Amino acid sequence: MRNQVQLVAYADRLGGSLPGLARLLDGPLAGLFGGVHVLPFYLPYDGADAGFDPIDHLAVDPRLGGWEDVRRLAASRDVVADLIVNHVSDRSVQFRDVVEHGEQSPYAGMFLTYDRVFPHGATEADLVRIVRPRPGLPFTPAVLGGRRRLAWTTFTSHQIDLDVHHPVARRYLSAVLRQLADCGIAMVRLDAVGYAVKTAGSACFMTPETVEFIVDIAAEARRLGLEVLAEVHAPHRYTVQAAGRVDRVYDFVLAPLILHAVFTGDSRPLRDWLTRRPGNSVTVLDTHDGIGMIDAGPGPDTADGGLLTATQLDSLVATISRNSGGTSRASTVRGGGGGVYQVSCTAYDAVGRDDRRYLLARLLQLFTPGIPQIYYVGLLAGDNEPGLAGRTGDAREINRRSYTEAEVGEALRRPVVRALTRLIRLRTTHPAFGGEFTLLDTPAGELTMVWRAGRARARLRTSLADASYRLAFTADGAEQTITGARLIELT
């Protein structure tokens, strides 16, 4: 995996198709990104959960292209693709066969039902302990072979959870891994992997059995030449736990800590995390799901001390709401102590469309050790689109607008976007970022981050209270310095 910035995008919403996305990466975005995470392109890409509910995990939606388009995209850059380990669509061939034939279906053991996890029934305590990133319990009534059952549905009622330990389900996941490897995919993202194993009497999230599954599926992927990225949204100790089992883990903690620092001028929580976070991280400031909050806050266990207190998180969510004109949407998690799970908002609206603070937040992300991923709406400094959420009922759609190629070109001419692309290009190409990272000792209202590799240097000095910063880096044997005030002027 290249030590370069990656783009994260839906092919249908940025370029309109896989070939369209490739044209943008080879054209106006050339030289910015060493890789791209193409969000689910399987059939269909526009189901109940924006592609995360595949009917056929082994087919590219023909409206986007085909497997040859995936191969072409992967030929000249690192491509990250999703292995959706937790569930498939209720419209899949396999589940429809179970609906028709029940236990006589060859796929019957592939899917989880309430009684498979709780064969002797569950107590109220068992049920309220279950963690789910949605309100309510994770069960949906279904008639399977003429018998009324409770299908396990962690996410929407149209996403039927797999029994990942059943041979049929495992063969299904293995076939997807082989297909991705055959197409030259560099890294597979284990989507929602923390929920993949359900164990009676537990939270059914990141249990010891889940960790065993992560180790096992990661080993299989590596045998095929795939690197593995785990997606785990939870208090930060789970991130640290997963990091030792996979090649990469998301640093979802970083976004709320950066925003807290930019809003309050207090760098202490961010500094604390920078000294002990996993080194094999993928850094994000925004994602297709929004801005995660649960990762930085306190959890239900005494071991889950938060990097931000519940009061600080509440203040952060309120600030984002004010900055976005009240258009952001916060969601909560059911079970595990509850609390704010994530905020649906673009990164640009989260900082009140303040160009200086937005670029400071991005610089802090780009200077943090790890592989930076930039979400396509964030790249183009997009605004919230509340109307999208209103039409679908999914608050996350606020941050999922579609761009035509012409609209991309128009956005790239905006000063804030031009400045951001300059910073991304610096992070992707400058040799200092392949060297040693140092966090200097500074007062709480400041943060200085330095990268060194031989004679190559890159240094970011920030004053958080007034969102000012000085960026210095070596170029052609001399040092160049750009201040926050000058960055936009120079673009």
Confidence band (pLDDT; 50, 70, 90) for 491? low
How far is residue 51's CA from residue 191's CA, in Å, rounded to a whole number? 12
Residue 333 has pLDDT above 90, yes or no: no
Mean pLDDT of 456-477: 94
pLDDT of 331 reads 87
Contacts (Cβ under 8 Å, ≥6 apart) of 139: 114, 150, 151, 152, 153
When comparing pLDDT for 50 and 302, which is higher?
A: 50
Alpha helices by DSSP H, 102-229: 114-117, 124-129, 167-182, 208-223
Amino acid at 366: L
Cβ proximity of 36 and 72 under 8 Å: no
Mean pLDDT of 408-413: 96
pLDDT of 303 reads 67
Cβ proximity of 173 and 85 under 8 Å: yes
Cβ proximity of 74 and 179 under 8 Å: no
pLDDT of 268 reads 96
Confidence band (pLDDT; 50, 70, 90) for 336? low
Residue 154 has pLDDT above 60, yes or no: yes
Confidence band (pLDDT; 50, 70, 90) for 365? very high
Alpha helices by DSSP H, 393-478: 405-412, 415-429
- What's the half-sphere exposure (Cβ side, CA atoms, 13 Å) at 251? 25
Tens of pLDDT along 373-406?
A: 999 999 999 999 998 887 778 899 999 999 998 9
Confidence band (pLDDT; 50, 70, 90) for 283? very high
How far is residue 129's CA from residue 118's CA, in Å, rounded to a whole number? 14
Q: Per residue, what are the HEC states of 201-224? A: CCCCCCCHHHHHHHHHHHHHHHHC
CA-to-CA dists, residue 60 to 168, 183, 266, 433, 446, angstroms:
22, 12, 46, 35, 47
How far is residue 102's CA from residue 3's CA, in Å, rounded to a whole number? 49
Instruction: Give the residue among 250, 266, 249, 270 at the shortest CA–CA distance from 258.
Output: 270
Cβ proximity of 102 and 147 under 8 Å: yes
pTM, 2 dp? 0.96
Confidence band (pLDDT; 50, 70, 90) for 27? very high
Tens of pLDDT along 79-110?
A: 999 999 999 999 999 999 999 999 999 999 99
Q: Give percent above pLDDT 70 in the chain.
A: 98
Amino acid at 135: P
How far is residue 10's CA from residue 392's CA, in Å, rounded to a whole number? 17
When comparing pLDDT for 418 and 334, which is higher?
A: 418
Confidence band (pLDDT; 50, 70, 90) for 134? confident
Confidence band (pLDDT; 50, 70, 90) for 13? very high
Active site residues: 191, 231
Confidence band (pLDDT; 50, 70, 90) for 337? low
| Average predicted confidence (pLDDT) for the chain | 94
